[in-house]
Amino acid sequence: MVRKILVVDDEAVLLDTISYNLEQAGYQVTKAADGLSALDAARTETPDLVILDIMLPGIDGLEVCRQLRRERLTAVVPIIMLTAKGDEIDKVVGLEVGADDYMTKPFGRRELLARVRALLRRADYPITNSGNQDTTNNRQESLPRRKDLHSGDLSIDQAGRRVTNRGQNIELQPKQFDLLTYLVRNRGTVLTRDQLLHHVWGYDYAGDTRTVDVHIRWLREKLEEEAANPKLIQTVRGVGYVFRG
């Protein structure tokens, strides 16, 4: 099955270059040059992945990302955001509004394709191997159902991709869920940021570990009684993170 990718950028040369590289790799590409066109294309084309520039005319990429995350058809579609070099705040905000990953311009063809493949692979085979019932991915139906995970007041329904903590349902973005599940499955083991990037995001190289730090902060805000004094997900200075629940 040919995977569909929506590419959104108002720089015509970059838009054409990204689209060409993706098409040469076997993907079907839809292009958009502004926020409104991107929303329309996402709703009508139902892409498997979105590559979205932050700086767009009209509705910017951050608002496009927010709206896509609120809509049923695109709520779990992987989104890679494109940012200008050095715009650290844009990267963090992009992750906070629901992007799965970001790339800093300029970037090479190999990095682009590696990140696209990694996110599509994780979308097809989530780290929980739970099968998200996507009708385009019937291969998952034959995968064994994983048992629920429990740690104190925390419960993770891997098949249903649901989390409860202290009796309350916790809403998590797809990558937040995958990260939490991996941490809990490896409780007591100190995991480096590069390990988490590899196993949760699927990168085969050392990526930008800021992605991990931001997702850890979100999990703490949603799960810990005191996010500033975490008991469940602890930092091991100079190494990474460990789940102590």
Domain ranges of the chain: 4-124, 145-243
Residue 179 contacts residue 215 (beta carbons within 8 Å): yes
CATH fold for the domain made of 4-124: Rossmann fold (3.40.50)
pLDDT value at position 147? 76
Dist CA 179 CA 199 (whole Å) = 9
Q: What's the whole-model pTM score? A: 0.65
Write down the CATH number for the domain with range 145-243.
1.10.10.10
- What length does the chain have? 245
Calculate the alpha carbon distances from 50 to 40, 57, 205, 214, 217 in Å: 13, 17, 22, 20, 24
pLDDT value at position 124? 66
For residue 64, give both structure tokens: 């496009």
Q: Closest Cα partner for 65 from 42, 85, 88?
A: 42
Dist CA 33 CA 12 (whole Å) = 8
CA angle 182, 105, 177 (to 5 degrees): 15
At 125, give phi and psi (nearest 5°).
Answer: -125, 80
At 167, give phi and psi (nearest 5°).
Answer: 80, 0
Dist CA 236 CA 39 (whole Å) = 41
pLDDT in single tens digits along all 245 residues of the chain: 899 999 999 999 999 999 999 999 999 999 999 999 999 999 999 999 999 999 999 899 999 999 998 887 777 889 999 988 666 667 677 777 888 888 888 899 999 999 899 888 876 655 544 333 333 343 333 334 467 899 989 999 988 889 999 989 998 877 889 899 999 999 999 999 988 988 887 765 445 677 888 889 989 999 999 999 999 999 999 899 999 97
Peptide bond into 57 cis (omega under 30): no
Dist CA 219 CA 177 (whole Å) = 9
For residue 143, give both structure tokens: 């995968």
Dist CA 188 CA 153 (whole Å) = 17
Residue at token pair 């789940």: 243
